[in-house]
Amino acid sequence: MHHSYFERNARPTALLLLMACISSAALAQAPALEQATTQTAGDPQLKWGPCPPFLPRGCGIAVLHGDPAKDNFDVFLKVPAKSTIPLHWHTSAERMVLVAGELHVSYEGQKTAALKPGTYAYGPARHPHKGYCASATPCILFIAFESPLDAVPVQPANKS
């Protein structure tokens, strides 16, 4: 039995039209597209908030994207010149790029890495680490976190 071109293609065409209508309706109800943004570390409109109390005085955090109480967000971390970031860990992995200064980072069991502007570093979740801003100017680090922000200080072991 031979079917006409229309009979052979009516179902696929009708299905495509139905899918297009559903997609159009879904797009009409979808929230507006998120705006692209750019930020520089020196942007006067950045809102610098305080760091956890165990970090050096003068430390600041500026949220660049997302919400630190939720997954997947980005921050700038500013650490004063010649200051130490005590040993700590995060629940989340960290993806970092040093933006300014020179930062020496030490992960337990590994050699210290000297980060200079443009250096990428990856810090695994729950891996204790510390840092030192070795430059005469503040160190600014871009950090992308996967999980909500926390920083758990590691107390030195008592040597008896």
The per-residue pLDDT for range 33-64, each reduced to its tens digit, is 888 989 899 999 999 999 999 999 999 999 99
Judge contact between 65 and 73, C-beta under 8 A.
yes
Asked whether the whole model's pTM tops 0.95, one would answer no
- How much is the pLDDT for 125? 97
For residue 143, give the 3-state DSSP assignment.
Answer: strand
Looking at residue 13, its pLDDT comes to: 47
pLDDT at 141 over 70: yes
Contact 79, 130 (CB under 8 A): no
Closest to 107 in 3D by CA, of 93, 121, 128: 128
Buried b / exposed e over 80-103, threshold 16 CB at 10 Å, is beebebebbbbebebebebbbbbb
